[in-house]
Structure 1
């Protein structure tokens, strides 16, 4: 048997070059155009554009014949289309649905041992905290006034 010569390929050389495909797949709005402040007179540039008409861009269906919206819609069953909401739920409908839910009763309420006001269990009493923070702020103001003198 004769040996078939196999060309050695490195990993860096791809089989299909994407760079050769990109100019074909580029949309018309992304193609480079002539600058408006070019040094070429306008009648020359208009004659050039008439002499060289732009290439027509191939559509996606011609590039990828198996890719179309119809083929994608065939994959999704019609029951999925019907279950998708068509409009945003109105405020009235949302409030009507949540009307029967109501508020839950709190069971973790206790009295503060220091001031006797109502507070949540395992939380700092808001009345005591506000009194303490006011005292801290007064002391900080006094220290600033003494330091400024």
Structure 2
């Protein structure tokens, strides 16, 4: 319970203390529903945990700095199709940090409209129906990186 309180408190502090809460400059306009939230610190922490910034990282089906799977690329393309966008991502786009961040933002706009940092981190690791128990270690690593950014 105390851990959860600390996470919530940290999330609120992050929101309140960051006055530069504008839309991310790398995000495609179709990818961002909530334009007043800055996901950059979270994405930076995820990149650090996933690949230490290596855009050429490959582990199994996961590729790039954010370790994106083919299923996530397909899901992003489904979202874009539903939004009547002509834009589509390719598997090669996983090796582009800019396009990887666009995919992250697109997923957040679709499945995390309230910009819940914990949900974003856990779902990036465990999918939209993540298990708190199975994503706990990953969540802690990303939060540690987030804290060290300050």
Shared fold per TM-score greater than 0.5: no
Range into which the TM-score falls when normalised by the shorter chain: under 0.3
Please say which structure displays the higher CA radius of gyration: 1
Structure having the higher helix fraction is 2
TM-score (norm 1): 0.17
Relative contact order, CA 8 A, sep 6+: which one is greater? 2
